[in-house]
């Protein structure tokens, strides 16, 4: 889908849709059968500067970098993209806030390409299972070590108990 980003922001337009992972070749995923859902809102900030709010949801299957088995990664990102007409204008935007990013917008912005770019930026650099399959099914030694590791919830419960004393 191609939108005019500036018109989108000026008129406060909203659009949503899905894009097949097959059409996002830059994403390094193990499974290409799924799709991602996106929504884009045209907005203006308090000073009238145009920006797009992009939300992307779905799941991608990555390769765990520890055990190389599939790892399901939830995509749930929200990006606020200021629109600049040139690199120079982009550099002049006050972007000390980390929540905002910018894109150099031409009259035609390809939403699928934008979704691909944002998802790519949001993926973990080194995807890893919290607990790999081979560790879970591994030898007794590894299993004992894992059981000894206190769960964060147990630690939290302990802290709460201490607090009420």
Nearest distance in Å: CB 72, Zn ion: 11
For Zn ion, the closer of residues 53 and 129 by Cβ is 129
Q: Does 61 bind Zn ion (CB under 5 A)?
A: no
Q: Of 33-41, 112-120, 128-136, 138-146, which part binds Zn ion (CB under 5 A)? A: 128-136
Task: Give me 72's structure tokens.
Answer: 């399901």
Q: How far apart are CA 152 and CA 143, in angstroms?
A: 18
**Residue 98: half-sphere exposure toward Cβ, Cα within 13 Å:** 0
Of 72 and 121, CB closest to Zn ion: 72
* 37 counts as binding Zn ion under rule CB under 5 A: no
Neighbours of 40 (CB within 10 A): 24
Residues from 65 through 124 that contact Zn ion (CB under 5 A): 66-67
Q: Is residue 63 within a helix (H) or strand (E), and if so which, with residue range?
A: strand 50-63
By CB under 5 A, name the one of 24, 64, 75, 114 that touches Zn ion: 64
Asked if residue 53 binds Zn ion (CB under 5 A), the reply is no
Q: For residues 26 and 39, give the distance between their C-alpha atoms in angstroms, rounded to a whole number.
A: 20
Count residues binding Zn ion (CB under 5 A). 5
**In angstroms, rounded to a whole number, what is the distance separating the alpha carbons of residues 76 and 122?**
9
Q: Would you tell me which residues interact with Zn ion (CB under 5 A)?
A: 64, 66-67, 129, 132
């Amino acid at each position: 889908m191609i939108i005019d980003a500036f018109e989108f922001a000026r008129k406060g337009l909203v659009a949503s849709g899905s894009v097949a992972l097959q059409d996002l070749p830059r994403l390094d995923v193990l499974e290409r059968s799924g799709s991602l859902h996106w929504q884009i809102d045209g907005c203006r900030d308090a000073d009238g500067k145009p920006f797009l709010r992009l939300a992307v949801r779905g799941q991608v299957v990555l390769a765990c970098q520890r055990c190389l088995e599939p790892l399901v990664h939830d995509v749930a990102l929200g990006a606020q993209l200021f629109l600049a007409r040139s690199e120079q204008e982009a550099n002049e935007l006050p972007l000390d806030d980390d929540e905002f990013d910018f894109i150099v917008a031409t009259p035609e912005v390809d939403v699928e390409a934008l979704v691909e770019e944002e998802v790519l930026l949001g993926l973990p650099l080194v995807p890893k299972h919290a607990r790999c399959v081979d560790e879970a099914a591994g030898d007794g030694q590894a299993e004992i070590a894992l059981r000894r590791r206190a769960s964060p919830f147990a630690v939290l419960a302990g802290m709460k108990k201490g607090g009420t004393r």
